Chain A
Amino acid sequence: MNREPKVAVVTMEGTNNEFEAFNSLKYAGAAAEIVHIKKFESGARKVSEYDMIFFPGGFSAGDYIRAGAIMAARIKAKLLNDIESFVEQGNLVMGSCNGFQVLIELGLLPNTQGKWETEAALAVNISNRFEARTIYLRVRKNNCLFLKNFEDGEVIKLPIAHMEGRFVPKSQSILEEIVRRKMNVLTYVDSMGKEADYPWNPNGSVLNIAGLCNDRGNVLGLMPHPERVFFRETESDWTRGENRQGMGFRFFLSAVEAIKEKF
């Protein structure tokens, strides 16, 4: 089938990365649509109408209670079964920053036990500060569909901007499962590509975890913002170095290509 993959960028009061996500998906070849959560709740839109769901960054519902908690609770109340089926069918779900917080709260990640239960939290940064800067990440692509266009072991730079990004697993056994299954696909590293503590790890995440991909490779959550650097000109060092696509480009191109392979 030769059509553009349909992607819903889910928005609500307080999300603020929907336009970057929309543009990234559009320029990567998807038919993106910004959809308010109410449209899913009312049935005006159905999750099954799409090939991919993207949860953008921002401060959904003002980040009151916990970052992402109110958005996740609304989804749990009415849409969680639809989204679980959507994922089980192999469709793609991605969340960056606040979107990652939502995916963790929903239990879509890491979901090591396959029960869709909350197995982790993204707690307040160990610095107790809002951390907003460019960081280094090491990519371990494993089977993650969003990382197809990266080299395994590649070190990349992405922007971060968050207050609650410290990955805390529910138990040591869940952490061991994450590592055993190589779900920790994105790891904070220093400029030499070695794992290091703060400030290289900006939030104090266990094992320097910056992003997780589920067992099947079709759900990715990450604290950094690939959608903010889809174009080279929006990277912090865009006037220096090679002339290439923005680092975020490859995430979205990988996703679009993975969806098209299924057609």
Chain B
Amino acid sequence: MAKLRITVTLKGSVEDAEGQSVAKALKLLGYKNVDEVRTGKVYRIKLKGGDLSEGEEFCSKLLSNPVINDCKVEFDED
């Protein structure tokens, strides 16, 4: 059994409105060192078989829009 960890984030060129809101909130809480926040989603997927290439397919078929997203597939160690 393989466990995959797929992380979908916005490309650096795409403005991250949620990230900006989070950064603002953190600064309002007094964390002066916060410079930028980028958000994303993590999918932790258990497979009965298969490998990372199947995860790549999940990215292209459903989990990410290549116009705005980067999609990183790795084995989930936890």
Contact = CB atoms under 8 A, between A and B. Distances in A.
Given A128-B20, A168-B68, A73 B62 contact: yes
A65 interface: yes
Interface in A121-141: 121, 123-128
B66 interface: yes
B68 A69 contact: no
B21 A128 contact: yes
A149 interface: no
B17 interface: yes
B66 A65 contact: no
B18 A105 contact: no
A69 B67 contact: no
Interface residues of B, number: 15
B63 A65 contact: yes
B15 interface: yes
Contacts of A18: none
B66 A118 contact: yes
Given A70-B62, A76-B61, A119 B67 contact: yes
Given A70-B62, A73-B62, A124 B67 contact: no
A170 B67 contact: yes
A120 interface: yes
The residue in A77, A119, A124, A204 that gathers the most chain B C-beta atoms within 10 A of its C-beta is A124
20 contacts: A65-B41, A66-B65, A69-B62, A69-B65, A76-B61, A77-B61, A118-B66, A119-B67, A121-B68, A123-B10, A123-B68, A124-B18, A125-B17, A127-B17, A128-B17, A128-B20, A168-B14, A168-B68, A170-B66, A204-B17
